[in-house]
Amino acid sequence: MIRQHRFIKLTKHRLAHRKGPVKIALNGSSGKMGQLITKVANELGHEIVAEINRSTTKYDFMGTKPDICVDFSVPTATVKLCAAAAAFKVPVLIGTTGLTDEDLHKMEDFAKVIPILISPNFSVGIHVLRKLVWEATKRLPNNFDIEIVEKHHTQKRDAPSGTALSILNDIKNIRHDSTGVFGRCGKSEYVSGNVGMHALRGGDVVGEHDVYFFGLGERLEIAHRATNREIFARGALFVAEKFYRVNVPKLYNLEEVL
Ligand SMILES: NC(=O)c1ccc[n+]([C@@H]2O[C@H](COP(=O)([O-])OP(=O)(O)OC[C@H]3O[C@@H](n4cnc5c(N)ncnc54)[C@H](OP(=O)(O)O)[C@@H]3O)[C@@H](O)[C@H]2O)c1
């Protein structure tokens, strides 16, 4: 009964979205992700009403009133965008990674005025991987050592990836004594509770994440491979179609909207 009710709600929701295009202000429009967002948005019948990139000096959305800002840029540009979005009362969906604690504090302030969603990964598969890692961390004894390896293309600016950091955070929420250790070099003794984080960079790798649980006599591996970055654009727009209707100012995560 509950399922049926949820299905009816979802169906109505989807039908409601076919009524009109979502007006999007796109930060990082000239970038790899920005171009894909534009392509997929056009396919879905949405409208990019303002394109923002490095050459933009005035964050006024070019005189338009967007329904939502979508951001795939760099952290400094993300902060500028959020300041403008707060002034114009437009919700923001952030895909940019590498935000510092200081940036996040600023986001918390902007989120007192507008809804802001931050997700370092809009792939459906990663969403499930995080659930599986959560389950494995909960169920396996603490003497299973956890290590995270991520691989990305050479143009990626931040390391480890925002996704790897989110996975580490999920693990810390279960094993409170866990500490991320970023690469190992030289004398490096084993310390129980350390979660090794390893970032590989090369070629055109779209994004790969492996989480290892090493036990004595057995090993569990949970892996995800992104082979086409369009999945991130499709995922982000799927979420944007829902999120632009949210009107309670707050910092959201993907879980709360999906
Ligand atoms: N959440 C996810 O699912 C997901 C998936 C993939 C990537 N990402 C993240 O999305 C971000 C963008 O990735 P990308 O591969 O598209 O990068 P990219 O190709 O380097 O594009 C970066 C964009 O940001 C703009 N930009 C750079 N510096 C700027 C500044 N100071 N002010 C304003 N705009 C500026 C660039 O404009 P110009 O062309 O004018 O320089 C360009 O449009 C990265 O943080 C990446 O990690 C997230």
Q: Is the pLDDT of residue 2 over 80?
A: no
Cα–Cα distance, 37 to 238 (Å, whole number)? 11
Cα–Cα distance, 97 to 90 (Å, whole number)? 21
Cα–Cα distance, 129 to 167 (Å, whole number)? 9
Query: Looking at the domain covering 2-122+230-257, what would its CATH class be?
Result: alpha beta
Q: What CATH number should be reported for the domain whose range is 124-226? A: 3.30.360.10
Average pLDDT over residues 37-59: 94
Active site residue 250: no
What pLDDT sits at residue 188?
87
Q: Which of 23, 46, 152, 224 is catalytic?
A: 152
What pLDDT sits at residue 182?
95
Q: Is the pLDDT of residue 35 over 70?
A: yes
pLDDT tens-digit profile of 198-233? 999 999 999 999 999 999 999 999 999 999 999 999
Average pLDDT over residues 81-86: 96
Q: What percent of the chain has pLDDT over 90?
A: 85
Cα–Cα distance, 22 to 24 (Å, whole number)? 6
Average pLDDT over residues 119-130: 93
The distance of Cα 60 from the centroid of its chain, to the nearest Å, equals 25
Q: How far is the CA of 55 from the centre of ligand 1 (A)?
A: 13
What pLDDT sits at residue 255?
85
Q: How far is the CA of 93 from the centre of ligand 1 (A)?
A: 14
Q: Give kind and range of the element (H or E) at residue 92.
A: strand 92-94
Q: How far is the CA of 149 from the centre of ligand 1 (A)?
A: 23
Q: Is the pLDDT of residue 17 over 50?
A: no
Q: Is the pLDDT of residue 56 over 90?
A: no
The distance of Cα 198 from the centroid of its chain, to the nearest Å, equals 19
Q: Is the pLDDT of residue 87 over 50?
A: yes
Cα–Cα distance, 150 to 97 (Å, whole number)? 14
The model's pTM: 0.85
Ligand 1 site residues, Cβ closer than 6 angstroms: 28-34, 53-55, 72-74, 76-77, 95-98, 119-122, 229, 232
pLDDT tens-digit profile of 91-100? 999 999 999 9
Q: Is the pLDDT of residue 75 over 90?
A: yes
Q: Which of 156, 172, 198, 242 is catalytic?
A: 156
| Identity of residue 164 | A
The mean pLDDT value of the chain amounts to 91
Confidence of residue 175 (pLDDT cuts 50, 70, 90): very high
Active site residue 152: yes
pLDDT tens-digit profile of 178-199? 999 999 999 988 899 999 999 9
What pLDDT sits at residue 257?
87
Domains of the chain, by residue range, sit at 2-122+230-257, 124-226
Confidence of residue 58 (pLDDT cuts 50, 70, 90): confident
Q: What counts of helices (H) and strands (E) characterise the chain?
A: 8, 11
Average pLDDT over residues 58-62: 87
Beta bridge partners of 24: 48, 68
Cα–Cα distance, 197 to 210 (Å, whole number)? 10
Give the three-state DSSP class for 30.
Answer: coil
